Structure 1
Amino acid sequence: MTNTFGAGAATTVRRNKFSFPLAAAIFAIVSGVSISAPEMTLAQSYVFSNVSIEGNRRIPAGTILTYAGIAQGESVSAAELNEAYQNIVNSGLFETVELTPRGGTLVIVVTEFPTINRISFEGNRRIKDDALTEIVQSTSRQVFSPTRAEADAALISEAYSQQGRLAARVTPRIIRRSDNRVDLIFEVFEGGNTEVERISFVGNTAYSDRRLRQVLQSKQAGLLRAFFRSDTFVADRIEFDKQVLQDFYQSRGFVDFRVTGVNAELARERDGYTVTFNVQEGQQFKFGEITTVSEYEGVEASVYQDVAKLKSGSIYSPSDIESAIARMERQANREGRDFLRIEPRITRNDRTLTLDVEFVLSRGPRVFVERIDIAGNTTTLDRVIRQQFKVAEGDPFNPREIRESAERIRALGYFSTAEVNAREGTRPDQVIVDVDVEEAPTGSLSFGGTYSTTDGFGLAISFRENNFLGRGQSVGVTFSGATDDRTYAVSFTEPHLLGRDVALNFGLSYSETESSYSDYSSLNGSFTTGLTFPLTEKSRLNVNYKLAANDLTLDSGATVGSLLTAEAAEDLRYASSIGYKYSYDTRISGLNPNAGLLLEFAQDFGGVGGDVEFIRSTGRAVAQTKVWNEEITLRATLKGGAISMLGDSNSQVTDRYLIGSSIMRGFTPDGIGPRQYSAGNYDDALGGTMYAVAQFDAEFPLGLPEELGITGGVFYDIGSAWGLDQSAGDVLYEDASVRQVVGVSIFWTTPIGPLRFNWSKALEKEEFDKEQTFDLSIRTEF
């Protein structure tokens, strides 16, 4: 291409090469040395009448001239010529650029960057191709840019760093193809996990390193490090841990606590970090005087004082303040005072280490929720998210309620991120609540093994979807089978029936049991449905219906007593019942981080159709606390049950309570309770129509390295099972004779779950009870 501009002498400017005059001038500027000849040459100007552009195939010549910025007929110095060269190079469109003045013609020779034919990744296993494709900025059919490719390599390396693989290296390479195309390949060396070898603390006196490490999300590398990812070093996780420590201490009254610094030292081999948290605990404060004053005409402060339920002398916690405000706001709603503002004013008393709290009741500004905007939910329906708000469009705006709604949305587990913010609406007295979420996988398919000291090894397969069709519903399918047992179950739960805080559930199950400790087998099928709804802040009520079918069959050649023989002779029978379950759980509010109380009571009333009439009652009470700077966990459990058969109905062994290791440790599942016994002929566990058991546990560290995940415990159980609605002369232990057991436990956190090993010794038992001195089970949490 040729353009007519003017004439001038010949000089060539190439990428990575300078003409002598230009190079000499730059040298003079940098070194401060005066070179006369180059300066005279540099002062020379050019006027071009023609411009010849060569080598361009995709980029129009006019675009190149625009980047050059050389005006027609104007004088152009060597420095301006070099600037034109730099402008073309910096466009990022050309691999090489040369500018050569030839008399009155400026010759621009370019080599265009190739286009990207395809992008591929090699060597990556931990992060799949699809995920890496979303990370990089380069795309197919785009002009290849070395700078962008290097930036993409850095982004991939950062993604691996977030997974704790700081030694990962990424090298971009190209393979040239025809028609000026290239394949862009990112060669990935993933490297190993950069683990957290040690976590320690400096400045802590109230709580030990062991206790604080339990709080953190980051964990020390242990023997089973191949199965865990929480022991890899991730900088963002360390930042989260700092906030967790802050919340931990402040909830226990250390209001001045702060993390003064975190030192993370990388080993020479780059395979492990030593992380040290420098903390300043300060003093522990308690609640001082609790008062309430009203600046709102017509509002009685004493009523709200009673509702707060804060006690002077208890350990100060911000969550207690929030809970008190929430209770006051509910009282205001009951009184119809929508814009009551509750402001806690805290006075610090350093001499007594107390914090006086004064709740000020005033009339707040009249601000309403204009609308709630939801974005980012590609699968989850809007109504599932809106159900987490207790406010709707047009309701008074309550910042605390919006914060709690945000926490409920995050607690659903449907989203990897969920941000809730309020901004000014179309009018000053209105706000718009923006909800931005990012979907996360909500389904799971798991395969696992089971082990029982009585039934041996088994297989467990389960599928669960917690956000079915984006409706917030839960669907589960489970199969488990051991040597002699098989169970099939299907469940469905709608957590917000008709948009209300009422959960609807359905369940179907079928099981076949050939017990290793008895001479009979049973087939059981059941259908259950029910509704669960809150009664108060800490209590819930479930009402349910259950239809069950049961068939009892004696094993071939088995010799049993008269009672089991009579029960096995009965036909398949159906039990139809309605019932309820009441639960009170202080862990819902979480006011005391070191203690919790759970109370449950349930009753089922049989006879709504079916073949039998009965009343079954069960109860459970569990209390737990932590002592000795939260190093030792103490737990007490009281549970019991009773079944009363009505009319002409009689219970079967599958209806009664067989007390064993799952209810009272130290005995086999048929270990205690009424039994029909004849020496050398039969020894049949019958189960009791009533039982009561009290259990006391203590769990404590053993001084072993924490990365082993092993702690110890001791326990004491006392209880009994008794009662029959039919009896015989050879039946033993129908009365409530007491059994007592002591034992030690080892708790071990493993990839297959938290295991519990129990070794026990019966202090008091009956002659034909069946003791079990060792038991292995999956640990259950309170």
Structure 2
Amino acid sequence: MREGRAMTDKTRVMGARALVSGLAVAAMLGAALPAAAAVYTQVRLEGAQGVDAETALSLANIRRGADLSPGDLNDAQQRLQQSGLFETVEIVPQGSTLVIRVSEFPTINVVNFEGNRRLKDDKLAEIVQSKSRRVFSPSQAEQDAQAIAAAYASEGRYAARVDPRIIRRPNNRVDLVFEVREGDLTEIERIGFTGNRAFSDRRLRNVLSTKQAGILRTFIRRDVYAPERTQLDEQLLTDFYRSRGYADFKVQAVAPEVTRERDAFYVTYNIYEGPRFTFGRVDVVSEIPGVDAGPYSALNRVRPGQVYSPQVVEQTIQRMEALAIQQGVDFVSFEPRVTRNMRNQTLDLTFALIRGPRVFVERIDIEGNTTTLDEVIRRQFNTVEGDPFNPREIRNSAERIRALGYFSDAQVETREGSSTQQVIVDVNVEEQPTGSLGFGASYGASAGIGFNASLTDTNFLGRGQTVDLSFSTASGSQSFDFSFIEPYFLGRDLKAKFSAWYRTSDYNNAKFNTRSAGFSPAIEFPVSPNGRVELRYRLSKDKLFDVDPVQLSPESGEWTGSSPILVAEQGERVTSALGYSYSYDSRIAAISPLTSYKLRFNQDFAGVGGDVQSVTSTMSAGVESRAWREEVTLRAEFEAGALHMLGDEDSRITDRFRGSGRIRGFEANGYGPRDLNAPNEDALGGNYFWAVRAEAQFPVGLPEEYGITGGIFADAGSVWGLDNAAGYDRDSNDRDGDGNFTEVVDGTVDDSMKVRASVGVSMFWTTPIGPLRFNFSKAVKKEDYDKDQPFDLSISTKF
């Protein structure tokens, strides 16, 4: 191919240049044709191989014996040229004979692509319409070149250039080559806003799905300009403003500008914020005879003085519609009627219960799902065939389908059915991959370097089930975990869970190892719009081993070993427990976009068989809020727990709470009860703990596309309490004759509740491998034996 191309460089031409222009031909005709009209009794076609004379005459619209002027001949030539069958056309009058000399377009031998690296040959071959063994068409080749350039533009490479070339071959054949110059990514250098007063450009850029180019532009693709994302970004801005009281907000224009080099875009959003509204008078009225508005008014959650939010209105209407269905009142709707008071910037709201049209859902048609089962999509509808048609419920169902994460696009539309009183709901989805295979590495100051691998599918076999398989190892510890979730068990909003694990741990600040294997089935269901309850069972086998006995080394003369508390606790025990959890998360049905809350309470009762009898209770609560024009994020969390052993049993280290990650600035197991008389000074854990954490996250002045923000934090807490706080004295003479060089003495282990506290600064960095967090801490209140940790690198977790 390369040699043939080198030998025919002089014959290589662009497809468009292979055509003889109409003006040039017209000039030739003007020189060859007589000035007056003429009659031609014969027409002779020369140079054609696959086209006969009659076909040529038909294309040229010429009849034998017709009176033809030079203009008629010129028009005939143009029609033949535009037919796409001939590379050149020449009409030559010879007396009463009209000679049409043509050369047909060659046949394409092969279609090749050169210079393409980002898009492979098979991908480009699907795009172009020029194919091997077809007649070569310069116009089609140009269209194919434009299609290839458009494909590169969709990948963010607007500077791509594609030139079609031909290489002449024997027997009127050509090789068609598309020379591609891919160019660099056309990045978004800057996103700006005009008309914004309430929020800064930085805050609004964080709302958009599109981001500016940054130092990680090689990995992050959101900095590439994509026109199809503009509509999404407009909707995100609209939702952002209106949820904060700006009812009249709108995006007036979006102006993308490309640089002369076509290697960067400048995108400017021209927006109108409008005033910020609060709710004024709120009423509920019924315009349906015989239907009392009182019960519906009791469901109203909109309060005067509250900042306007369409989500609050929507949630109130949903509650009212649900009550109407329960009461058997069909074909009704709640119409929110708003009256603006521009003087005091309030919105008077009236929920009007009105009679709606008698329209039923005839059927729900689902298309586009090749893997996902119909029932997975259909169960997102609270409406079934034959139910009264509720447009709001259909819109909510569409949002639930999109929120599944199974589809790159999901459109839900309605159309008239078999009658005016019937509607058909059309669901068109476009599936996307839901499985992921991940490999990674981690580093912690305490745990050292670790490696992990995971296999996850959130739509297993198209059934909407989640399967997660993971393995990790770090500093002598390994874990293998498996989990399975069925979100609609028994066809209801009932989440069935199953998890199994096998873990071995070599704890820091302790000379012992543990091994745990077990499984836990669970059922989770909603009890309120924001609350859920989980019921579970856990069966596990936990082993404490490799505990060093305390003894005097004959070789070194030094004491070695662990606390006798751990020596007494080593061994294997089976735990069989029933438990429950209640969780509340305000983000499930969010009312305030600025503040969110979460609460969780857990209790597990061990003793349903097994070797352990105990009650373990834990609770956690947290709040997150945005302040200072939403530039600063404030977080506060509190958690506590208690372990109560039943009967005469004492707790073991595998059951107790340990100071691992609860207070920043301390190592794992770095604080809490510790046997200081033991040579190893092992951390023992405690039956009780509490911890409180507060932090603020804020911009540090760097461009937001770098993904770097700062933070400050303060933590405090404690771990305390043992069932048996016996210590020991060294007994070099083995006075009790038990073979151990120790003497048990009560009260030598301090298990009292002593507060630890730390302060520090953080740096958050959003990277392609995950959100990283760097903590620089200072322990401001600690015991002499605590193990502090001034620096830590971890994966940042969301609230």
- TM-score computed with the length of structure 1 as normaliser: 0.91
* Cα pair 1:85 1:98 within 8 Å, conserved: yes
In the alignment, the residues of structure 1 paired with residue 166 and residue 644 of structure 2 have an alpha-carbon distance, to the nearest angstrom, of 80
In the alignment, the residues of structure 1 paired with residue 230 and residue 327 of structure 2 have an alpha-carbon distance, to the nearest angstrom, of 46
Unaligned runs of 5+ in 1: 1-12, 26-37
SS of match in other structure, 2:623: strand
Deviation at 1:658, TM superposition (A): 0.6
Determine the structure 1 residue equivalent to 2:265.
Answer: 273
* Cα pair 2:613 2:647 within 8 Å, conserved: yes
Judging changes above 3 Å, is the alpha-carbon distance between structure 1 residues 651 and 556 closer, same or farther for their aligned structure 2 residues? Answer: closer
Determine the structure 2 residue equivalent to 1:664.
Answer: 663
Cα offsets for 1:480-534 (capped at 9, x unmatched): 1123121122222222223322222222221221223211111221212222222
Deviation at 1:675, TM superposition (A): 1.9
Determine the structure 2 residue equivalent to 1:228.
Answer: 220
Cα offsets for 1:132-157 (capped at 9, x unmatched): 33433334444332212212221222
Q: Which amino acid aligns with 2:623?
A: A
Are 1:599 and 2:599 an aligned pair? yes
With 735-744 and 255-264 compared, the bigger mean Cα shift is at: 255-264
Determine the structure 1 residue equivalent to 2:415.
Answer: 423
In the alignment, the residues of structure 2 paired with residue 250 and residue 283 of structure 1 have an alpha-carbon distance, to the nearest angstrom, of 11
* Cα pair 2:764 2:771 within 8 Å, conserved: yes
Are 1:331 and 2:323 an aligned pair? yes
Determine the structure 2 residue equivalent to 1:46.
Answer: 39
In the alignment, the residues of structure 2 paired with residue 146 and residue 19 of structure 1 have an alpha-carbon distance, to the nearest angstrom, of 21
Determine the structure 1 residue equivalent to 2:584.
Answer: 584
Determine the structure 1 residue equivalent to 2:567.
Answer: 565
In the alignment, the residues of structure 1 paired with residue 479 and residue 41 of structure 2 have an alpha-carbon distance, to the nearest angstrom, of 90
Determine the structure 2 residue equivalent to 1:306.
Answer: 298
SS of match in other structure, 2:402: helix
Are 1:539 and 2:539 an aligned pair? no
Q: Which amino acid aligns with 2:359?
A: V
Q: Which amino acid aligns with 2:486?
A: E
In the alignment, the residues of structure 2 paired with residue 115 and residue 682 of structure 1 have an alpha-carbon distance, to the nearest angstrom, of 86
Determine the structure 2 residue equivalent to 1:211.
Answer: 203
Judging changes above 3 Å, is the alpha-carbon distance between structure 1 residues 427 and 718 closer, same or farther for their aligned structure 2 residues? Answer: same
Determine the structure 1 residue equivalent to 2:789.
Answer: 772
Determine the structure 2 residue equivalent to 1:412.
Answer: 404
Deviation at 1:53, TM superposition (A): 5.4
* Cα pair 1:115 1:180 within 8 Å, conserved: yes
Cα offsets for 1:401-459 (capped at 9, x unmatched): 11111111112222221111100001110011111111212221122111111011111
* Cα pair 1:545 1:579 within 8 Å, conserved: yes
SS of match in other structure, 2:681: strand
Determine the structure 2 residue equivalent to 1:722.
Answer: 720
Q: Which amino acid aligns with 2:581?
A: K
In the alignment, the residues of structure 2 paired with residue 369 and residue 329 of structure 1 have an alpha-carbon distance, to the nearest angstrom, of 17
Percent of matched pairs sharing the same residue = 51
Determine the structure 1 residue equivalent to 2:136.
Answer: 144
Cα offsets for 1:211-257 (capped at 9, x unmatched): 11211222222222222111223333344323322221121111222
Judging changes above 3 Å, is the alpha-carbon distance between structure 1 residues 465 and 519 closer, same or farther for their aligned structure 2 residues? Answer: same
Determine the structure 2 residue equivalent to 1:360.
Answer: 352
In the alignment, the residues of structure 1 paired with residue 246 and residue 674 of structure 2 have an alpha-carbon distance, to the nearest angstrom, of 57
Determine the structure 2 residue equivalent to 1:451.
Answer: 443
Q: Which amino acid aligns with 1:560?
A: S
SS of match in other structure, 1:111: strand
Q: Which amino acid aligns with 2:426?
A: D
Correspondence for 1:737 among 722, 731, 754? 754
In the alignment, the residues of structure 1 paired with residue 635 and residue 194 of structure 2 have an alpha-carbon distance, to the nearest angstrom, of 31
Are 1:440 and 2:432 an aligned pair? yes
Q: Which amino acid aligns with 1:563?
A: I
SS of match in other structure, 2:705: helix
Determine the structure 1 residue equivalent to 2:105.
Answer: 113
Deviation at 1:748, TM superposition (A): 1.7
Are 1:575 and 2:585 an aligned pair? no
* Cα pair 1:22 1:79 within 8 Å, conserved: no
* Cα pair 2:547 2:562 within 8 Å, conserved: no
Cα offsets for 1:628-672 (capped at 9, x unmatched): 111111111111122222235443212211113x22212111122
Cα offsets for 1:331-384 (capped at 9, x unmatched): 111112221111111000000100111111011111111111111112222122
* Cα pair 1:678 1:730 within 8 Å, conserved: no
Are 1:524 and 2:525 an aligned pair? no
* Cα pair 1:56 1:110 within 8 Å, conserved: no
Are 1:348 and 2:348 an aligned pair? no
Are 1:55 and 2:48 an aligned pair? yes
Correspondence for 2:178 among 186, 190, 203? 186
In the alignment, the residues of structure 2 paired with residue 61 and residue 577 of structure 1 have an alpha-carbon distance, to the nearest angstrom, of 93
Judging changes above 3 Å, is the alpha-carbon distance between structure 1 residues 183 and 646 closer, same or farther for their aligned structure 2 residues? Answer: farther
In the alignment, the residues of structure 2 paired with residue 16 and residue 505 of structure 1 have an alpha-carbon distance, to the nearest angstrom, of 77
Judging changes above 3 Å, is the alpha-carbon distance between structure 1 residues 389 and 128 closer, same or farther for their aligned structure 2 residues? Answer: farther
SS of match in other structure, 1:599: strand
Cα offsets for 1:24-43 (capped at 9, x unmatched): 89xxxxxxxxxxxx8xx454
Judging changes above 3 Å, is the alpha-carbon distance between structure 1 residues 615 and 107 closer, same or farther for their aligned structure 2 residues? Answer: farther
Judging changes above 3 Å, is the alpha-carbon distance between structure 1 residues 744 and 98 closer, same or farther for their aligned structure 2 residues? Answer: same
* Cα pair 1:54 1:107 within 8 Å, conserved: no
Judging changes above 3 Å, is the alpha-carbon distance between structure 1 residues 78 and 641 closer, same or farther for their aligned structure 2 residues? Answer: same
SS of match in other structure, 2:401: helix
Deviation at 1:326, TM superposition (A): 1.1
* Cα pair 2:29 2:91 within 8 Å, conserved: no
Are 1:82 and 2:81 an aligned pair? no
SS of match in other structure, 1:400: helix
* Cα pair 1:15 1:98 within 8 Å, conserved: no
Q: Which amino acid aligns with 1:301?
A: A
Judging changes above 3 Å, is the alpha-carbon distance between structure 1 residues 179 and 722 closer, same or farther for their aligned structure 2 residues? Answer: farther
Deviation at 1:779, TM superposition (A): 0.8
CA RMSD across the alignment: 2.4
Judging changes above 3 Å, is the alpha-carbon distance between structure 1 residues 322 and 314 closer, same or farther for their aligned structure 2 residues? Answer: same
With 239-248 and 337-346 compared, the bigger mean Cα shift is at: 239-248
In the alignment, the residues of structure 2 paired with residue 594 and residue 500 of structure 1 have an alpha-carbon distance, to the nearest angstrom, of 32
Q: Which amino acid aligns with 2:433?
A: P
With 64-73 and 535-544 compared, the bigger mean Cα shift is at: 64-73
- TM-score computed with the length of structure 2 as normaliser: 0.89
In the alignment, the residues of structure 1 paired with residue 772 and residue 28 of structure 2 have an alpha-carbon distance, to the nearest angstrom, of 80
Determine the structure 1 residue equivalent to 2:10.
Answer: none
Cα offsets for 1:114-140 (capped at 9, x unmatched): 344444433333334444334333344
Q: Which amino acid aligns with 1:567?
A: E
Judging changes above 3 Å, is the alpha-carbon distance between structure 1 residues 139 and 371 closer, same or farther for their aligned structure 2 residues? Answer: farther
In the alignment, the residues of structure 1 paired with residue 243 and residue 178 of structure 2 have an alpha-carbon distance, to the nearest angstrom, of 48
SS of match in other structure, 1:241: helix
Correspondence for 1:490 among 463, 482, 497? 482
In the alignment, the residues of structure 1 paired with residue 133 and residue 376 of structure 2 have an alpha-carbon distance, to the nearest angstrom, of 41
* Cα pair 1:14 1:97 within 8 Å, conserved: no
Determine the structure 1 residue equivalent to 2:734.
Answer: none
Determine the structure 2 residue equivalent to 1:504.
Answer: 496
* Cα pair 1:14 1:99 within 8 Å, conserved: no
* Cα pair 1:677 1:730 within 8 Å, conserved: no
Judging changes above 3 Å, is the alpha-carbon distance between structure 1 residues 509 and 61 closer, same or farther for their aligned structure 2 residues? Answer: farther
Judging changes above 3 Å, is the alpha-carbon distance between structure 1 residues 165 and 382 closer, same or farther for their aligned structure 2 residues? Answer: same
In the alignment, the residues of structure 2 paired with residue 326 and residue 400 of structure 1 have an alpha-carbon distance, to the nearest angstrom, of 8
Correspondence for 1:704 among 702, 705, 710? 702
In the alignment, the residues of structure 2 paired with residue 654 and residue 119 of structure 1 have an alpha-carbon distance, to the nearest angstrom, of 68
Determine the structure 1 residue equivalent to 2:768.
Answer: 751
* Cα pair 2:510 2:680 within 8 Å, conserved: no
In the alignment, the residues of structure 1 paired with residue 137 and residue 764 of structure 2 have an alpha-carbon distance, to the nearest angstrom, of 56
Deviation at 1:478, TM superposition (A): 1.2
* Cα pair 1:52 1:105 within 8 Å, conserved: no
Are 1:688 and 2:695 an aligned pair? no
Cα offsets for 1:85-113 (capped at 9, x unmatched): 22222222322233334444444343333
Determine the structure 2 residue equivalent to 1:8.
Answer: none
Judging changes above 3 Å, is the alpha-carbon distance between structure 1 residues 86 and 307 closer, same or farther for their aligned structure 2 residues? Answer: same
Unaligned runs of 5+ in 2: 1-19, 550-559, 727-745
Q: Which amino acid aligns with 1:652?
A: R
